[in-house]
Amino acid sequence: MNNSCLGKTRAAATDRPGWGQRLLSFLFARQRSIRWHIILLFSLITTVVFFLAGAGIYQFVTHAMRENMMDKLAAATRSVKEVVESAAHLAIRNHLQTIAHTNIETLGILEQRVRAGNMSKEAARQLAVEIFLHQRIGDQGYVYVVNGQGIIQAHPVLDLLRADLSGKDFIRRQLAMKNGLLDYSWKNPREKQTLPKVMAMAYFEPWDWIVSVTSYKNEFTFLANELRRGLKSHHFGRTGYVFIVNGQGDIILHPWLMGNARSLDNAVAAGVFTKIIAMKNGHFEYQGQDETQSEWQRKIVFFHAIPELDWIVASTIHVEEILEPLASLGWIIGLIVVGALALVTLLGLYLGNRITSPLARLAGQMERAESGDLNVRAEEDALGEIGRLGYHFNRYINRLRESNLKIIAEFKERIAAEQQLLIYRNAMEQALEGIIITDPEANILVVNQAFSEITHYEADEVLHRNVRLLQSGRHDRAFYREMWETLARTGRWTGEVWNRRKGGEIYPQILSISAVRDGNGAVTHFVGLFHDITEVKLQEERIMHQAYHDGLTGLPNRRLALDRIEVSIAHVRRAGTKLAVLILDLDNFKNINDSLGHASGDALLLQVTNRLVAQVREEDTVARLGGDEFLLLVAAIPDESVVNDLIRRLLKSLSDPFRLDGQEIFVTASVGAAFFPNDGANAATLIKYADIAMYQAKAEGKNTSRLFTPDLSERITFLRQLENNLRQAVANREFAVYFQPKIDPYTATVVGAEALVRWRRGDGTVVSPADFIPLAEETGLIVPLGEQVLEQTCQVLRSLNGRGQRKLSLSVNLSPVQFLQTDLVERILAILQQYQVAADQLELEITETAMMSNLARTVAALNELVAAGLSIAIDDFGTGYSSLSYLKRFPIRTLKIDRSFIRDLTDDPSDAQLVETIILMAHNLGITAVAEGVETQSQLEWLKNCGCEQIQGFYYSRPLPTEDFLEYVDRFRAPG
In the chain, DSSP finds a helix count (H) and a strand count (E) of 31, 31
Predicted pLDDT of residue 613? 92
- Banded pLDDT at 886 (limits 50, 70, 90): low
- Banded pLDDT at 457 (limits 50, 70, 90): very high
Please give the angle made by the CA atoms of 48, 50 and 55, to the nearest 5 degrees: 95
Distance CA 129, CA 151 (A): 14
- For the segment 150-182, what is each residue's pLDDT rounded down to a tens digit? 899 888 888 888 888 888 888 888 888 888 888
- pLDDT greater than 70 at residue 292: no
* Amino acid making up residue 456: H
Higher-confidence residue of 777 and 559: namely 559
Predicted pLDDT of residue 11? 47
Asked if 109 and 119 touch (Cβ cutoff 8 Å), the reply is no
Predicted pLDDT of residue 146? 92
SS3 state at 51? helix
Asked if 224 and 310 touch (Cβ cutoff 8 Å), the reply is no
Predicted pLDDT of residue 4? 45
* Amino acid making up residue 653: S
- pLDDT greater than 70 at residue 400: no
- pLDDT greater than 90 at residue 756: yes
Predicted pLDDT of residue 392? 57
Asked if 84 and 320 touch (Cβ cutoff 8 Å), the reply is no
Predicted pLDDT of residue 580? 93
- For the segment 615-641, what is each residue's pLDDT rounded down to a tens digit? 999 889 999 988 889 999 998 888 888
Predicted pLDDT of residue 719? 65
Distance CA 94, CA 86 (A): 12
Predicted pLDDT of residue 39? 66
Please give the angle made by the CA atoms of 659, 665 and 667, to the nearest 5 degrees: 120
Distance CA 213, CA 182 (A): 10
Most confident of 2-11, 23-32, 461-470, 711-720: 461-470
Higher-confidence residue of 898 and 544: namely 898
Torsions phi, psi for 197 (to 5 deg): -130, 165
Predicted pLDDT of residue 963? 93
- Banded pLDDT at 754 (limits 50, 70, 90): very high
- pLDDT greater than 80 at residue 394: no
- pLDDT greater than 70 at residue 37: no
Predicted pLDDT of residue 830? 92
Asked if 752 and 952 touch (Cβ cutoff 8 Å), the reply is no
Predicted pLDDT of residue 491? 86
Specify the range with the lowest mean pLDDT, choosing from 110-119, 261-270, 359-368: 359-368
Please count the other Cβ atoms lying within 10 Å of the Cβ belonging to residue 394.
12
Which of 299, 201, 188, 164 minimizes the C-alpha distance to 241?
A: 299
The stretches of 616-665 forming alpha helices (DSSP H) are 641-655
Predicted pLDDT of residue 966? 92
Q: Provide the 8-state DSSP code for 149.
A: T
Q: Say if strands 241-246 and 209-216 run parallel, antiparallel, or are unpaired.
A: unpaired
Predicted pLDDT of residue 9? 44
The DSSP line for 816-878 is: HHHHT-TTHHHHHHHHHHHTT--GGGEEEEEEHHHHHSSHHHHHHHHHHHHHTT-EEEEEEET
Tell me the β-bridge partners of 586: 669
Please count the other Cβ atoms lying within 10 Å of the Cβ belonging to residue 710.
8
Max alpha carbon distance in the chain (Å)? 170
The pTM for the full model equals 0.36
Please count the other Cβ atoms lying within 10 Å of the Cβ belonging to residue 659.
12
Asked if 831 and 787 touch (Cβ cutoff 8 Å), the reply is yes
Higher-confidence residue of 8 and 454: namely 454
130: left (phi over 0), alpha (psi -120 to 50) or beta: alpha
Q: What percent of the chain has pLDDT over 90?
A: 19
Most confident of 86-90, 551-555, 741-745: 741-745
Asked if 643 and 584 touch (Cβ cutoff 8 Å), the reply is no
Specify the range with the lowest mean pLDDT, choosing from 501-505, 779-783, 874-878: 874-878
Average pLDDT, the chain: 80
Asked if 669 and 615 touch (Cβ cutoff 8 Å), the reply is no
